[in-house]
Amino acid sequence: MVLSGMSDMGQLEDNTSYMKEFVPLNGEEMAVIKNVIDSINSSISIACTGCGYCVEGCPKDIPIPRYFALYNQFKIFGGGSNSRGYYQNYAGAHGKAEDCISCHKCERICPQHLSIAEGMKDVAAVFDIEQES
Ligand code: SF4
Ligand code: SF4
């Protein structure tokens, strides 16, 4: 067996010694953690994992996961996150979100079954349309 970062029994015992006093979380602590998880999940607008499978076939060369990440960032932190600036950099070298033609090619390979074309409309509303108005 290979244990990363441990080369002898002394190190193994040292690294696992804290488990002797192991106490499971109580109900109150579990509830706090659940609240934090729920809060994080509810703040993520588009549940893209960033796998990138969708990108290659896009006829408009839209960097889909990057735009979704910037959109989520904008929704959580607002304009202070500089997501708009990053978006403009990507949009200068690739297709914009508003260039999406809703061909749905990307959606056929998305493991998360996301409505990417609809998501692009949301991204465009924040980064393209607001910018133009
Ligand atoms: S639906 Fe939009 S983002 Fe998806 S492949 Fe077609 S043009 Fe690209
Ligand atoms: S395939 Fe789906 S989950 Fe993966 S990067 Fe594209 S939109 Fe995100």
For each of the chain's 133 residues, which pLDDT tens digit applies? Answer: 455 677 888 888 888 887 777 788 999 999 999 998 887 777 778 989 999 999 999 999 999 999 999 999 998 888 778 999 999 999 999 999 999 999 999 999 999 999 999 999 999 999 998 655 5
Q: What is d(CA 112, CA 49) in angstroms, rounded to the nearest whole number?
A: 8
The reply to whether 36 and 68 lie within a common domain is no
The reply to whether 95 and 128 lie within a common domain is yes
Q: Which protein residue's CA is at the shortest distance from atom 3 of ligand 1? A: 100
94 Cβ inside 6 Å of ligand 1:
no
Domain count, the chain: 2
Q: Which protein residue's CA is at the shortest distance from atom 4 of ligand 1? A: 106
| Two tokens, residue 123 | 């991204």
Domain of residue 17: give its range: 9-43
Q: Domain for residue 59, yes or no?
A: no
Residue type, 85: G
Specify whether the CB–CB gap between 127 and 70 falls below 8 A: yes
The reply to whether 32 and 69 lie within a common domain is no
**C-alpha pair distances (Å), 45 with each of 49, 52, 83:** 12, 18, 15
The reply to whether 70 and 112 lie within a common domain is yes
Q: Domain for residue 48, yes or no?
A: no
Running DSSP on this structure, what letter comes out for residue 113? -
